[in-house]
Structure 1
Amino acid sequence: MPEKVKDRNENGDADANLKYSAPALSKGLDILELLAEQSQGLKKAEIAQALNRSISEIYRMLAVLQSRGYVMLDTASERYSLTMRMFELSHRFPPTKRLTAVAGEIMEETAIRLNQSVHLAILNGSEILVIAQVDPPGNNITSVRLGARVPMVFTSSGACLSYQMTREKRAQMCSKNPNFTQEALDVFEDTVRQAAETGVCQSPSAIIQGVHNVSVPIIGFGGEVAASLTVPFVRRLIKSSDPDIDECKKVLIDAGNEISKKIGAGAAG
């Protein structure tokens, strides 16, 4: 249960000394700021209690915020949470807390189901940045370190993160890497085409022999790519019932779609 927000004046303003007052705007911002601190979301009554507002006031504000795509309602739990709309409006380094909170449980389930490591990445200049990583419980895994930065041209994650760009833009970004070659770009562009045409891509690891990276894009509120979900797929030589790489693609697509839905993909429509 969130703590009640205190020290607000009769119009709901956090600062009672403001020269100008916009009560409706203040209420909307109060809701956004409150939900920004709640990784699991809050029910309508919990929001009203925390903000010292009536449920009818909060309902009207939530209806507007939901219609504008800033919040979304999980009908199963009746909890409201932020979409990635605020993330997409900002042109700064992306706030990753909400994204990783949403993706965490889905990534854990995916890692266990596939018996493969899974990581989540965003674009950081001409590199990918790994912001979440989960390993399966078994042995003999290949994983990418949390916080790792890798040139986008060498990754399937980079292909998923950049397939909405023009080829010229990708080439310009990739050229910033000192190890960039035209051959590397040609391989990368083939992976980009897979992502654009099928929603999933596969490419041999440029770093570890025998590993095939499988990635899917995570789509945000306005249809833009917000992140990529990747499995560095390893085929174990011992006899096992692990899913093959084709099954891995199917499972990863489902996981990517679920994360995209939870961060508000399609809400703009």
Structure 2
Amino acid sequence: MTVTDMSAEDEKYRAPALTKGLDILELLASASDGLTQVEIGKMLGRTTSEIFRMLVVLSQRGYVELSGDDRYQLTTKLFEVAHRHPPIRRLTAIAGDAMQKLANRINQSIHLCILQGGRLLVVAQVDCPDNNLNSVRLGAQIPIFDSASGRVLAAFMDDAALEHLLTLAGTEAGERRDRFLADLPGVRDVGYCEGPSLTLAGVTNLSAPIFDYTGKAVAAITTPFIHRLNSASHVPVPEARNALVETCRDLSKRMGAGAAVDR
């Protein structure tokens, strides 16, 4: 097929309205405080009338909502729709009880991440019984370069998949990106990530992968381990790490990984 043929084929299957709607959703996903109709139009290079029609439909379908200060924000509907996807639904269904048991056992909050568009998406989160918590918000999107979860998922990728992930994550990270790549061989060798948090002092991040039936690391369970000074149920880091790895190994088997987790 020639370049001309490909261009004709692309033109044949264009869907301008769908494109505009997706552009708006992707833009609002990166705007934590929402955007006005005028701001959306300006950032997308669209007229306000084009944007207005799209926003009306997206609002009617429940994907965006208008706040009191005339700013449009995403609702949780995209997150809810994503959870109807069978692999994610199965993963969160089988992981929930195991995560809560782990949180109770090590007295730390736990979250489950998957990769989405070059970032981490928190799709499940549980708290421990202690009064003092350090938890990550359900639905949060986290840059991969500063995270233990990102290191765990990237460490078990082949070269092509890793290169694609890095492209999606962006090249502006600089030294953070270099440090991230340097950590991957060690994570792969031991099968988990353990180290000081790169965003919070006094926190040790512990993370391990969950594999599916193909042997692919599809999710990571992570605890931002806080070092309590006066807790009656203090669990040492090595014990917490071993319990985390054990939980992820069991969940991998339940996802059909079998021997694929024994790397």
CA distance in 1, matches of 2:106, 2:188: 24
- Partner amino acid for 1:134? V
Matched positions, count:
176
Structure 1 segment 247-262 matched on structure 2, within 5 A: 247-262=239-254
Distance in structure 1 (CA, Å) of the matches to 2:238 and 2:156:
24
Counterpart contact for 1:152–1:174, Cα < 8 Å? no
C-alpha offsets along residues 242-265 of structure 1, whole Å, 9 cap, x if unaligned? 111111110001000111111111
Distance 1:162 1:186 in 2: 13
Tell me the equivalent position of 1:192: 184
2:197 and 2:203 in contact (8 A); partners too: yes
Find the counterpart in structure 2 of residue 128 from structure 1: 120
Q: Which of these residues, 131, 140, 146, is aligned with residue 138 of structure 2? A: 146
Compare relative contact order (CA 8 Å, sep 6+) and give the higher one, 1 or 2: 1
Structure 1 segments unaligned to the other structure (5+ residues): 1-92
Residue identity matched to 2:132:
N
Whole-angstrom distance in 1 between the partners of 2:161 and 2:93: 31
Counterpart secondary structure, 2:138: coil
Q: Is the 8 A contact 2:100 2:128 kept in 1?
A: yes
State the Cα deviation string for residues 171-217 of structure 1 (Å, max 9, x = none): 66346556843321232234322321011111322322221211000
Residue 212 of structure 2 corresponds to residue 220 of structure 1: yes
TM-score of the superposition, structure 2-length normalised? 0.61
Is the alpha carbon distance of 1:247 and 1:130 closer, same or farther for their aligned partners in structure 2, counting shifts above 3 Å?
same
CA distance in 2, matches of 1:190, 1:94: 34
SS at match of 1:228: strand
Partner of 1:201: 193
Q: Give the gaps of 5 or more residues in structure 2.
A: 1-84
Percent of counterpart pairs with the same letter?
A: 39
Deviations 1:141-193 (A, max 9, x none): 10100111011111110111111235676466346556843321232234322
> For 1:18-33, what aligned pairs fall within 5 Å after superposition?
none
Structure that is richer in helix per residue:
2
Structure 1 distance, partners of 2:188, 2:212, is: 16
Provide the secondary structure at the position in 2 that maps to 1:251. Answer: helix
Residues in 1 aligned to 2:86 and 2:181: alpha-carbon distance in whole angstroms: 26
CA RMSD in angstroms, aligned pairs only? 2.3
TM-score scaled by structure 1? 0.59
SS for the counterpart of 2:258 is coil
CA distance 1:181–1:95, shift in 2 (3 Å): same
The aligned runs of 1:1-269 (5 Å cut-off) are 95-166=87-158, 170=162, 173-174=165-166, 177=169, 180-238=172-230, 240-266=232-258
CA distance in structure 2 between the partners assigned to 1:212 and 1:151 by the alignment: 18
Aligned match of 1:76: none
Kindly indicate whether the alpha-carbon contact (under 8 Å) linking 2:115 and 2:219 is maintained by their aligned counterparts in 1.
yes
